[in-house]
């Protein structure tokens, strides 16, 4: 590599898990205790430019136009892995922006770290396979590996393989174009971050072992539902995985309550819609926002129903999209 600065820009989309990941098998390696299955949301994007510069003494991060001296540590940790892997000691200036509200509970860390890894790798002229980039992203944020791929994505635990996790697309977005309506029920940061919440749950919940034991069966059911485009089967296993994860969180000591009253009202409204024959189901992550997944013909009806739940601050709608990629 020459002494000149080298830069690249990447785009990545957030993803939401239908079969959830909660719990770590190895905290130092950020290795999940369970696999997960997600969809990538094409309508929302993070754009990140990484410029390696021999003049820089440390990494610099600008998030949505402002220097972020707290988040830069995690970004630096991620860049450090890539630097070691590709044999460079250059520091970088990272500029990242989301076109969706960061406080919307939309896993901006997933799209953020996916875009970071892809941009930094391109800027350094690397030619690592995508599976390895996904495993690198997974070490920075568990859900980020899934944003490396588009459509329906599975992150599997592969202790016997070349990497401890393997992430891959199981169905492209155009093969089953589901839609997602996000009901934002509160703004502001969540009280307990996911890593802290996972460690507390593992340490204190009597339900943790059965949660880990159940996961392979849920993954198999979801994989099968996706392969056969069986909406009802996907709805059943996704809601079960979501509710089991929140039941697990509630059973920690002290219990983790990520929902507010509006969250619960939205879940009832979605169940009501399904009883009326509307193809829609819900999922909720470590926060109070509700994600309604539906067939395209139901989107307007779902938006109308969730938009009138008292306490819903705003709705965001998205189709499925592609994996992280270099822009331009
Ligand atoms: O990637 P993390 O560490 O933010 O954890 C994600 C955890 C959930 O969003 C609750 C579930 C998931 O699989 O995305």
Residue with tokens 């590599």: 1
Ligand 1 centroid – CA 16 distance (Å) = 8
Residues with CB under 6 A from ligand 1: 17, 20-22, 36, 107, 109, 141-143, 194-195, 285-286
Cα(29)–Cα(24) distance, rounded to whole angstroms?
A: 9
Cα(22)–Cα(216) distance, rounded to whole angstroms?
A: 13
Q: How many Å separate Cα 15 from the centre of its chain?
A: 4
Atom in ligand 1 nearest the alpha carbon of residue 141: 1
Q: Which of 143, 157, 289 to mutate to test the pocket of ligand 1 (most atoms within 8 A of CB)?
A: 143
Q: The domain 179-319: what is its CATH number?
A: 3.30.70.890
Ligand 1 centroid – CA 112 distance (Å) = 13
Q: What is the pTM of this model?
A: 0.95
Atom in ligand 1 nearest the alpha carbon of residue 193: 4
23 burial (CB, 10 Å; 0-12 / 13-18 / 19+) is: buried
Ligand 1 centroid – CA 109 distance (Å) = 9
Ligand 1 centroid – CA 17 distance (Å) = 8
Q: Which of 18, 102, 192, 194 to mutate to test the pocket of ligand 1 (most atoms within 8 A of CB)?
A: 194
Q: Which of 17, 106, 180, 200 to mutate to test the pocket of ligand 1 (most atoms within 8 A of CB)?
A: 17
Topology classification of domain 6-172: Ribosomal Protein S5; domain 2 (3.30.230)
Q: What are phi and psi of 10, to 5 degrees?
A: -130, 155
- Nearest 10 degrees: CA dihedral of 32, 141, 109, 37? -40
Atom in ligand 1 nearest the alpha carbon of residue 195: 3
Distances (CA, A) of 289 to 7, 79, 147, 274, 284: 35, 30, 19, 19, 6
Domain with CATH 3.30.230.10 in the chain: 6-172
Ligand 1 centroid – CA 82 distance (Å) = 22
Ligand 1 centroid – CA 21 distance (Å) = 6
Write down the pLDDT at residue 187: 85
Write down the pLDDT at residue 2: 43
Distances (CA, A) of 232 to 94, 110, 193, 257, 320: 42, 27, 32, 28, 19
Atom in ligand 1 nearest the alpha carbon of residue 19: 13
Write down the pLDDT at residue 4: 57
Low-confidence ranges of the chain (pLDDT < 50): 1-3
Nearest CA to ligand 1 atom 9: 285
What are 35-47's pLDDT values in tens digits? Answer: 999 999 999 999 9
Q: Which of 36, 78, 112, 142 to mutate to test the pocket of ligand 1 (most atoms within 8 A of CB)?
A: 142
Write down the pLDDT at residue 1: 44
Nearest CA to ligand 1 atom 6: 143
Write down the pLDDT at residue 103: 57
List CB contacts of 114: < 8 A, sequence separation 6 or more: 10, 12, 46, 137, 144, 145, 147, 148, 323, 324
Q: How many CB atoms lie within 10 A of CB 153?
A: 25
């Amino acid at each position: 590599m020459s002494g000149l600065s080298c830069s690249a820009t990447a785009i990545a989309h957030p993803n939401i898990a239908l079969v959830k990941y909660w719990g770590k098998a190895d905290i130092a390696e950020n290795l999940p205790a369970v696999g997960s299955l997600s969809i990538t949301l094409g309508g929302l994007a993070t754009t990140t430019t990484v410029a390696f510069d021999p003049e820089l003494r440390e990494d610099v991060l600008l998030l949505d136009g402002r220097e972020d001296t707290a988040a830069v540590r995690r970004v630096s940790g991620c860049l450090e892995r890539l630097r070691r892997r590709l044999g460079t000691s250059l520091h970088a200036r990272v500029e990242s922006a989301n076109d969706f509200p960061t406080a919307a509970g939309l896993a901006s860390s997933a799209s953020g770290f996916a875009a970071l890894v892809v941009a930094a790798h391109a800027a350094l002229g690397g030619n690592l396979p995508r599976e390895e980039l996904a495993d690198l992203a997974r070490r920075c944020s568990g859900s980020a590996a899934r944003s490396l791929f588009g459509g329906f994505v599975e992150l599997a635990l592969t202790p016997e393989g070349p990497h401890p996790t393997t992430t891959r697309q199981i169905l492209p977005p155009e093969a089953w174009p589901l839609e997602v309506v996000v009901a934002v029920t509160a703004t502001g940061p969540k009280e307990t971050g996911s890593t802290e919440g996972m460690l507390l749950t593992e340490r204190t919940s009597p339900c943790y072992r059965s949660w880990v034991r159940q996961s392979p069966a849920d993954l198999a059911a979801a994989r099968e539902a996706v392969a056969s485009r069986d909406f009802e089967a996907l709805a059943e296993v996704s809601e079960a995985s979501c509710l089991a994860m929140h039941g697990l969180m509630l059973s920690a000591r002290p219990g983790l309550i990520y929902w507010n009253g509006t969250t619960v009202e939205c879940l009832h409204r979605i169940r009501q819609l399904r009883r009326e024959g509307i193809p829609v189901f819900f999922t909720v992550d470590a926060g109070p926002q509700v994600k309604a997944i539906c067939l395209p013909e139901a989107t307007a009806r779902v938006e109308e129903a969730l938009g009138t739940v008292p306490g819903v601050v705003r709705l965001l709608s998205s189709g499925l999209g592609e994996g992280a990629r270099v822009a331009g």
